Amino acid sequence: RQAPRLSLSLPGPLGLEQLRARPAPGSFSKPAGLPRLSREDIGHLADGKIVQRQTRDGVTGNGFVVMDLEASPETVWSLLLDFERYPEMISTVRSAALRPGSTLERARATFVLSKFLLEVNVVHQFDRRRQQLRFCLDSASQNFVMKQADGFWYVETPDVAEGLKPGHVRIWFGASIRVSRIVPRWVTDYAAQRALRRATAWLRPTITEAEKASLDSVGVQQSTTAAPREGPEDL
């Protein structure tokens, strides 16, 4: 399988090879504090549903979303790491700009979010071996809207995820956020009700489409390679 393109500003072959190379067996390490799924949760995931938990206390909130999708880890990461294309994929992201010096392992980006045009500066750290992408506010930049925002993306495969079907991945998204008190309460309420859903609703259709395109591309290449060549007797 081939991963879709990355727009991240780094040497193409290096970045793509890192995505294609599978971690060695036993090298996975789950994020600390990852919630334990019940049998009922695993059943919901197997049925194509999502599992979501969320808590809120005033201007502070945290939660997670998990879902099972038929896709390869390479396809998932090729999208999650393509920060500059977030506005195309995620409706709540209005613009995205990578900072100079960003790499596959550590990328700094500025996002403008929602119809309220809230600007946030974020640092992303990708650990291919652990299949994790962590993010937090960029302490080197100003963030007027959020006073705290950190979280992770984590991708599991059938060899480590309970009840996960072959050929599928389990995608986790978790976040903890504290909003500045200068933000009107009604804006905070509006965002809290939609944040987790909007952060993850794009995954299923986008990843499914990217996985299909990747498999179709492989099929075309195999057909081209297998096509018989014309010999002298055919001329």
Give pLDDT tens digits for 32-57: 778 889 999 999 999 999 999 988 87
The token pair at 60 is: 């502070």
Question: Which class does domain 48-81+128-215 fall in?
Answer: alpha beta
Residues with Cβ within 8 Å of residue 155, at least 6 apart in sequence: 73, 76, 77, 131, 169, 170, 171, 172
- The pLDDT of residue 16: 36
- The pLDDT of residue 153: 96
Tens-place pLDDT, residues 200-235: 999 999 999 999 988 777 665 555 555 555 544 443
- The pLDDT of residue 127: 95
Tens-place pLDDT, residues 171-199: 999 988 888 777 777 666 666 667 788 88
Higher pLDDT, residue 39 or 22: 39
Tens-place pLDDT, residues 120-176: 999 999 999 999 999 999 988 877 777 788 899 999 999 999 999 999 999 999 988
Strands 60-70 and 51-57 turn out to be: antiparallel
- DSSP output for 90-142: -TTEEEEEEPTT--SSEEEEEEEETTTTEEEEEEEEEETTTTEEEEEE-TTS-
